[in-house]
Amino acid sequence: MCKHINKNYHFDKFRIFRIDCAFDIRLKNQKEVEQLVFLLNKFEGINRGRYKKYNEPGSLYISSDSDRPYYKINFYNKLDEVQKEYTELGMEVPEYIVRQIQNLCRIEVQYFVPKLYQIMKEHEIDNRVPSEFFKPEISIQIIKKHFLNIIGEEDFYSIKYAKQIINSADGITERTKEKLTTTLELIDKAVDMKKAKEIFTSKKGKIIKPFDSVKSFRGCKNTYREYIKKIRELKINPVVIPETWGIDHIANPISEIYRIEKDLGGPAQ
- pLDDT of 264 strictly over 50: yes
> Of 241 and 209, which is predicted with more confidence?
241
Of 150, 178, 213, which residue constitutes the final position of a domain? 150
How much is the average pLDDT of 225-249?
A: 96
- Mean of pLDDT over the chain: 84
Judge if 144 and 172 occupy the same domain. no
Rg (CA), the chain: 21
Question: Based on the structure, what is the number of domains in the chain?
Answer: 2
* C-alpha span between 83 and 157 (Å, rounded): 30
The fraction of the chain above a pLDDT of 90, given in percent, is 53
Judge if 99 and 229 occupy the same domain. no
- pLDDT of 185 strictly over 60: yes
Beta bridge partners of 26: 104
How much is the average pLDDT of 81-100?
A: 95
Place 54 in a pLDDT band, splitting at 50, 70 and 90: low
* C-alpha span between 161 and 20 (Å, rounded): 38
Judge if 205 and 223 occupy the same domain. yes
Q: Where are the alpha helices (DSSP H) in 156-269?
A: 159-167, 174-189, 193-200, 221-233, 254-263
How much is the average pLDDT of 2-12?
A: 49
Residue 51 lies in a domain: yes
Place 213 in a pLDDT band, splitting at 50, 70 and 90: low
Residue 58 lies in a domain: yes
Residue 81 lies in a domain: yes
Q: What is the pLDDT of residue 133?
A: 84
How much is the average pLDDT of 224-236?
A: 96
Judge if 164 and 244 occupy the same domain. yes
Judge if 138 and 177 occupy the same domain. no
Residue 264 lies in a domain: no
> Of 204 and 32, which is predicted with more confidence?
32
Judge if 141 and 180 occupy the same domain. no
Q: What is the pLDDT of residues 132-150, one digit of tens each?
A: 888 889 999 999 998 998 8
Judge if 143 and 225 occupy the same domain. no
Residue 60 neighbours by CB distance under 10 Å: 24
Judge if 181 and 112 occupy the same domain. no
* C-alpha span between 237 and 206 (Å, rounded): 28
How much is the average pLDDT of 93-119?
A: 92
Of 150, 175, 208, which residue constitutes the final position of a domain? 150
Judge if 141 and 69 occupy the same domain. yes
DSSP string over 105-156: EEEEEEEEHHHHHHHHHHTT--S--HHHH--HHHHHHHHHHHHHHHT-SPBE
Q: What is the pLDDT of residue 4?
A: 45
Residue 268 lies in a domain: no
Residue 256 lies in a domain: no
Q: What are phi and psi of 235, to 5 degrees?
A: 65, 30
How much is the average pLDDT of 79-83?
A: 93
Spatial CA neighbour of 202 closest among 212, 116, 237: 212
Structural domain containing residue 196: 156-251
Judge if 137 and 233 occupy the same domain. no
Asked whether the beta carbons of 154 and 38 are under 8 A apart, the reply is no
Which of 40-44, 81-85, 212-216 is the least confident region? Answer: 212-216
Cis bond leading into 57, ω under 30°?
A: no
Residue 267 lies in a domain: no
Residue 92 lies in a domain: yes
CA dihedral sign of residues 28, 34, 39, 43: positive
